[in-house]
């Protein structure tokens, strides 16, 4: 049973990392992205290609994959400079299809046969089985959390939130909207891409069909459920919504149905999510309300 739990923990943390990334773009800068599965795929495929075709060792590949995702993610952000909010959502939806199509049809990316054989990762010759991998993943997650925490105290985050709140007003105030938006895309993609790379390495293979629109929808719902715009919300949403289907396994047949209904219900009645600002369990808010009484 332990191996099973550790495996779930591994994936849950990987998704948490990915959602931390999504939070920066969609939570702070309010650029709603339904295409983050494509970013995740960027990281996964980069890792796969670097390890199998270029023979670059595991850890170095992780960093490179994250970097590549960041750069390409920034490119994906270019349309956001021109189109309005709603069009942006559609463009991000399109990203899923475009990225999947590219890796499916060009043999360099493995085509429909995917890329297999990433092998067991090793650091300095030491093999990483599930238990050790979990330590690595948790370590990276903690690093990411620290990074996000510091990031949330920078000017950049404030600027992003300003843009998210009212783009026109921000521009009028002299904020270089384009640069901040691209920065948001870059940082967001770096984190989510890293998660993708970790995912690919852990499974050992990547296939195009793993990264479709459904994954993007799942990722966005994790963020919204947990509480958009907050780090704790991103973390909680990912961990909870990843583990929930596993816990609900005893009603296997109805699992996905419940998932969808739960999502819709949650988002209507508690849109700030569980831990977001003003959310269901936002204790800061609750404490503040109590004090005010």
Partner 1 sequence: MGQIIANAVILGCTYALMAIGLNMVYGLLKILHVAHAGIYTLGAYVGLLIFRTLTKSLWPGLVCAMVAAGFAGVAIFHILYKPVLRRPRYIALIASAGIFAASQELFRLIAGPYPYAFPAQFVFPAIRTKFFYLTSTQMLILSFTVVSFIVLYFLISRTKIGLAWQACMQDMDIAGTSGINVNRVITLNFFLGSALAGAAGILVALYRNSVFPTMGALVSYKAFVVVVLGGLGSMPGAVVAAMLLALVESLLSAAPWFEFPRDALAFLTMTIILLFRPKGLFKR
Partner 2 sequence: MRRVFIILALFAVCAFGQQAIKVGFIAPLTGPAAADGFSALQSALLAVDYINAHGGINGVPLELVYYDDALSPDQAAALTRKLIEGDKVVAVVSGSYSSTSRAAAAVCQELKVPFVAAYAVHPSIVQVGEYAFRVGMAAQIQGRIGGYFAVRELGAKRIAFLIMNNDFGISLAQAFKDAATSLGATIVYEKRYPVGETEFRDYLTAIKAADPDLLYAPGYYNEAANITRQFRELGLRCWLMGDEGYDSPKYLELAGPAANGVFITTDLDRDSRRPITQFFLKAYEERTGIPADMVGASAFDAVMIVAHVLRQAGTDPKAFIAYLAELKNFEDAATGPILMFQERTAVRPMQIQIVLNGKFRHFYEYGPEEPIIYYTYP
Interface ranges with partner 1 (CB under 8 A) = 30, 32, 34, 78-79, 82-87, 89-91, 93-95, 97-98, 100-102, 104-105, 213-214, 217, 220-221, 224, 253-254, 256-257, 259-264, 267-269, 271
Burial class (CB in 10 A: 0-12, 13-18, 19+), 69: buried
Report the C-alpha gap between 14 and 100 in whole angstroms: 21
Least Å distance, CB 211 to partner 1, is 13
Query: Minimal CA–CA distance to 218: which of 206, 229, 210?
Result: 210
Binding string, residues 27-46; x marks residues near partner 2 by CB under 8 A: --------------------
Closest CB to partner 1 among 94 and 204? 94
Candidates 103-111, 168-176, 267-275, 284-292; binding stretch for partner 2 (CB under 8 A): 103-111
- On the CB side of 66, how many CA atoms lie within 13 Å of its CA? 19
Is residue 260 a contact residue for partner 2 (CB under 8 A)?
Answer: no
Least Å distance, CB 166 to partner 2, is 39
Closest CB to partner 1 among 105 and 149? 105
Query: Minimal CA–CA distance to 28: which of 223, 168, 192, 194?
Result: 223
Query: Minimal CA–CA distance to 46: which of 65, 67, 71?
Result: 65
Q: What is the DSSP string of 4-19?
A: HHHHHHHHHHHHHHHH
Is residue 105 a contact residue for partner 2 (CB under 8 A)?
Answer: yes
Query: Per CB under 8 A, which of residues 215..254 are in contact with partner 2?
Result: 245-246, 249, 252-253
Considering CB distances under 5 to 8 angstroms, the limit depending on partner class, which of partner 1, partner 2, none binds residue 286?
none
* Residue 127: strand, helix, or coil: strand
- Residue 178 sits at φ, ψ, to 5 deg, of -60, -50
Which tokens go with 67? 């970097």
Helix (H) or strand (E) run with residue 112 in it: none
Report the C-alpha gap between 148 and 157 in whole angstroms: 10
Least Å distance, CB 28 to partner 2, is 28
Closest CB to partner 1 among 95 and 190? 95
Considering CB distances under 5 to 8 angstroms, the limit depending on partner class, which of partner 1, partner 2, none binds residue 268?
partner 1
Report the C-alpha gap between 58 and 69 in whole angstroms: 16
Binding string, residues 112-151; x marks residues near partner 2 by CB under 8 A: xxx-xx-----------xx---------------------
115 DSSP β-pair partners: 206
Is residue 106 a contact residue for partner 2 (CB under 8 A)?
Answer: no
Closest CB to partner 2 among 245 and 271? 245
**8, 65 contact by CB (below 8 A):** no
Closest CB to partner 2 among 87 and 209? 209
Question: What does the binding site for partner 2 look like in residue numbers (CB under 8 A)?
Answer: 1-4, 7-8, 11, 101, 104-105, 111-114, 116-117, 129-130, 199, 202-205, 207, 209-210, 245-246, 249, 252-253, 255-256
């Amino acid at each position: 049973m332990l191996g099973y739990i550790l495996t779930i923990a591994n994936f849950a943390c990987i998704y948490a990392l990915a959602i931390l990334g999504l939070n920066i773009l969609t939570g702070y800068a309010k650029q709603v992205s339904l295409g983050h599965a494509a970013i995740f795929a960027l990281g996964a495929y980069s890792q796969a290609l670097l390890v199998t075709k270029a023979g670059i060792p595991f850890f170095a590949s992780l960093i490179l994959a994250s970097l590549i995702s960041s750069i390409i993610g920034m490119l994906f952000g270019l349309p956001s400079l021109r189109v309005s909010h709603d069009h942006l959502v559609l463009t991000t939806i399109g990203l899923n299809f475009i990225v999947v199509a590219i890796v499916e049809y060009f043999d360099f990316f493995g085509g429909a046969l995917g890329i297999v054989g990433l092998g067991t990762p090793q650091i300095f010759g030491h093999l990483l089985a599930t238990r050790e991998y979990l330590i690595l993943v948790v370590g990276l997650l903690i690093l990411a959390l620290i990074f996000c925490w510091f990031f949330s105290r920078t000017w950049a985050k404030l600027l992003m939130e300003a843009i998210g709140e009212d783009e026109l007003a921000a521009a009028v105030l002299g904020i270089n909207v384009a640069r901040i938006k691209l920065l948001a895309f870059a940082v967001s993609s770096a984190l989510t891409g890293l998660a993708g790379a970790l995912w690919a390495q852990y499974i050992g293979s990547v296939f195009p069909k793993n990264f479709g629109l459904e994954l993007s929808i799942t990722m966005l719902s994790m963020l919204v459920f947990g509480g958009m715009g907050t780090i704790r919300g991103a973390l909680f949403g990912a961990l909870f919504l990843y583990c929930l289907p596993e816990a609900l396994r005893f009603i296997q047949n109805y699992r996905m149905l419940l998932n969808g209904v739960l999502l819709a219900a949650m988002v209507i009645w508690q849109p700030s999510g569980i831990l977001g600002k003003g959310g269901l369990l936002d204790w800061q808010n609750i404490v503040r309300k109590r004090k005010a009484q």
